[in-house]
């Protein structure tokens, strides 16, 4: 069924968008992680550096002595402090280490050294935590800006008394530089990842499209739905075979027609090479030839017509498709139609004969020969009904079947064959399914007539009918030469439709067809006697005898014949 794909972005665009989103999120996560690690690492390095400088300076004995002296003094001269040894040593350390600032205070918090000389002699702007005797590290915004600072207590020489503190700050400008460097690396790697992702996605999409014949995923899904609708929505059987010769698909109709295993059974044919799938041999040969042949198959289930098609697309070999059509119903209807046409022909012949008799009487009366007309009518009455050359036809109660046999008798008479009903026949009641009964009986009589015409004289066909409840038993014998030894008249396989004239029985597809028709009702058709020239059989019993059993074709509740059935050599 045709399908127009819905408008929208294609598979490639969706995959590429997804890739960009995923890679973008990964880049953001990586950037955030890298920046966080960089910040933590720079902070740790700055804190360690500041603490190391402060500890080194606080442990200097000369600095300890000077700070102790200033701590013991009552009044401090700011000018003297700016030119004092503590300021000189602190500035020397700051310049040598590249610290942001180095500040020294005595135990009252008065600055003894500071990078800004104007602030020397003033109290510190932050709480002198180190004066309690413990070290501290923090990140603060002081008079010189944002910095990571370490505070270490200064002890009096030779004692544990805190006389001051050293505060060293390291600027965070280096952190910004490192963050910019890390960000540039992350963005560069992310951009490279995006480009690589786009190229790989493009290659992957092209690869997938080449393998899916250019179909989008939505089109493939719709194609699968369309395939299932076609496979399981048609009455014909379909078998798909891939380029590798393995069966890739088959529908339910094909499984039923060929009697294949169910898909859930272990011996399912899906995935098997067609030569190992237990398909009919003629079908396997046709698939191997791959010429688009059409052939006829006869199976236990049905009469089939199989067609093998080679499938290609854009020059690519996609394999083969086998189409199976069940023609059993059509042929059964044909058999039934033949029976109706037989009766119609017989009625036309009888009408013609009856009209001739009326014309004769009319002519006699027209010429005033009343006496002769009266005598002619007497002869007609004495001769019985219009010619119905079937011996012992009165043994049949069913009017439809009697008329059918009468019509066949007319055909036999025209071909020089005597049709008779066997003396052992005993058919009680009427047919409730005359079509199936006449289809089977008519085919057997037609075959017997052909055999009798080509056989020796006298030529005859005998029909025996017995009723057993609702089951009809019948046998048809002829004066022909019988069935040739080795001739499989019910053989399954390809029918040629043209057998030699000597093979009268089983010509065409009639016998396999009526056997299937009988078996669908729970009955059967078989050869009761293939015929022979055995001594003592008599001239009238050298032909073949075909028998059939048709359950359910008679009205229920009928009596049972006391003459047995025709089991023969079934």
Sorting pLDDT into bands at 50, 70 and 90, what band is 102? very high
What is the C-alpha separation between 217 and 323, in angstroms, rounded? 28
Give the pLDDT band of residue 507 (cuts 50, 70, 90): very low
With H, G, I as helix, E, B as strand and everything else as coil, classify residue 309. Answer: strand
Residue 475: band (very low, low, confident or very high) from pLDDT cuts 50, 70, 90: very high
Whole-angstrom distance, CA of residue 406 vs CA of residue 420: 10
Compute φ and ψ for 406, nearest 5 degrees.
-65, -40
Both structure tokens of 504: 């009268």
How much helix, strand and coil, in percent to the nearest 5, is found in the chain? Answer: 45, 20, 35
Average pLDDT over residues 88-100: 89
- Per the rule left: phi > 0, alpha: psi between -120 and 50, beta: everything else, 506 is left
Where is average pLDDT lowest: 57-61, 158-162, 421-425? 158-162
Q: What is the DSSP string of 422-440?
A: -TT-BB-S-BS-HHHHHHH
What number of other Cβ atoms are within 10 A of residue 558's Cβ? 19
pLDDT, position 496 = 30
What is residue 463's predicted lDDT score, i.e. its pLDDT?
94
Compute the CA torsion angle 323, 328, 334, 336 (nearest 10 deg): -160
Listing DSSP states for 336-373 in one string gives: HHHHHHHHHHHHHHHHHHHHHHHHHHHHHHHTT-HHHH
Task: Give residue 549's pLDDT.
Answer: 94
What is the pTM for the complete model shown? 0.46
Read off the pLDDT of each residue in 346-355 and give the average, rounded to a whole number: 67
Task: Name the most confidently modeled range: 229-233, 345-349, 428-432, 444-448.
Answer: 444-448
**Which domains are delineated in the chain?**
1-233 (3.30.450.20), 235-323 (3.30.450.20), 388-550 (3.30.565.10)
Name the burial class of residue 147, with classes exposed (0-12), middle (13-18) and buried (19+) by CB atoms within 10 angstroms of its CB.
Answer: buried
Task: Return the pLDDT at 331.
Answer: 64
**Which among 561, 343, 395, 562 is positioned nearest to 472, based on CA atoms?**
561
Q: Which of 425, 427, 437 is nearest to 462 (CA)?
A: 425
Confidence at residue 502, expressed as pLDDT on a 0 to 100 scale: 39
Q: What is the pLDDT of residue 444?
A: 93
Which of 24-33, 222-231, 275-284, 500-509 comes out lowest in average pLDDT?
500-509
pLDDT at position 563 is: 46
pLDDT tens track for 438-463: 889 989 999 999 999 988 888 999 99
**Cα 115 from Cα 90, distance rounded (Å):** 9
Q: Would you state the structure tokens that stand for residue 58, as one six-digit string?
A: 């606080």
d(C-alpha 77, C-alpha 447), whole Å? 146
Q: What is the pLDDT of residues 189-218, one digit of tens each?
A: 878 877 887 788 788 878 877 777 677 777
DSSP letter for each residue of 461-484? EEEEEEEETTEEEEEEEESS--PP
Q: What is the pLDDT of residue 535?
A: 39
556 Rama sector, left if φ>0, alpha if ψ -120 to 50, beta otherwise: beta
């Amino acid at each position: 069924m045709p399908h127009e794909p819905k408008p929208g972005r294609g598979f490639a665009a969706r995959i590429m968008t997804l890739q960009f989103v995923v890679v973008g999120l990964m880049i953001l996560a990586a950037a955030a992680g890298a920046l966080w690690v960089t910040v933590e690492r720079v902070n740790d390095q700055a804190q360690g550096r500041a603490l190391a400088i402060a500890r080194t300076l606080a442990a200097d004995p000369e600095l300890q002595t000077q700070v102790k002296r200033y701590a013991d003094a009552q009044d401090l001269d700011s000018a003297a402090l700016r030119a004092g040894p503590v300021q000189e040593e602190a500035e020397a350390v700051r310049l040598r280490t590249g610290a942001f600032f180095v500040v020294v205070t005595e135990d009252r918090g008065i600055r003894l050294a500071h990078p800004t000389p104007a602030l020397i002699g003033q109290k510190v702007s932050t709480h002198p935590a180190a004066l309690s005797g413990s070290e501290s590290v923090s990140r603060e915004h002081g008079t010189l800006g944002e910095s990571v600072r370490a505070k270490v207590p200064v002890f009096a020489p030779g004692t544990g008394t805190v006389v001051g503190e050293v505060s060293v700050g390291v600027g965070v400008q280096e952190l910004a530089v490192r963050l910019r460097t890390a960000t540039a690396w992350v963005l560069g790697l992310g951009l490279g990842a995006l480009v690589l992702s786009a190229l790989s996605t493009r290659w992957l999409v092209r690869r997938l499209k080449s393998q899916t014949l250019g179909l989008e995923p939505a089109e493939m899904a719709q194609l699968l739905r369309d395939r299932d609708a076609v496979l399981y929505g048609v009455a014909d059987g379909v078998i798909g075979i891939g380029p590798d010769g393995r069966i890739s698909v088959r529908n339910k109709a094909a499984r039923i027609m060929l009697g294949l295993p169910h898909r859930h059974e272990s011996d399912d044919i899906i995935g098997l090479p067609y030569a190992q799938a237990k398909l009919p041999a003629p079908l396997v040969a046709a698939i191997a030839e791959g010429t688009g042949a059409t052939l006829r198959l006869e199976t236990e289930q049905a009469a089939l017509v199989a067609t093998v098609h080679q499938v290609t697309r854009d020059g690519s070999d996609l394999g083969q498709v086998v189409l199976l059509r069940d023609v059993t119903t059509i042929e059964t209807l044909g058999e039934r139609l033949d029976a109706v046409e037989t009766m119609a022909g017989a009625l036309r012949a009888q009408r013609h004969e009856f009209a001739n008799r009326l014309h004769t009487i009319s002519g006699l009366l027209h010429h005033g020969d009343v006496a002769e007309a009266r005598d002619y009518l007497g002869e007609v009455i004495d001769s019985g009904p219009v010619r119905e050359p079937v011996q012992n036809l009165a043994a049949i109660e069913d009017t439809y079947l009697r008329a059918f046999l009468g019509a066949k008798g007319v055909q036999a008479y025209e071909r020089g064959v005597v049709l008779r009903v066997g003396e052992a026949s005993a058919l009680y009641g009427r047919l409730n399914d005359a079509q199936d009964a006449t289809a089977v009986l008519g085919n057997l009589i037609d075959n017997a007539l052909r055999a009798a015409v080509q056989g020796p004289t006298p030529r005859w066909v005998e029909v025996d009918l017995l009723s057993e409840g609702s089951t009809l038993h019948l046998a048809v014998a002829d004066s022909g030469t019988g069935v040739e030894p080795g001739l499989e008249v019910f053989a399954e396989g390809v029918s040629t439709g043209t057998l030699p004239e000597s093979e009268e029985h089983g010509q065409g597809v009639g016998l396999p067809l009526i056997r299937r028709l009988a078996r669908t009702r729970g009955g059967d058709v078989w050869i009761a006697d293939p015929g022979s020239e055995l001594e003592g059989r008599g001239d009238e019993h050298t032909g073949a005898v075909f028998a059939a059993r048709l359950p359910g074709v008679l009205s229920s509740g009928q009596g049972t014949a006391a003459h047995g059935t025709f089991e023969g050599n079934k």
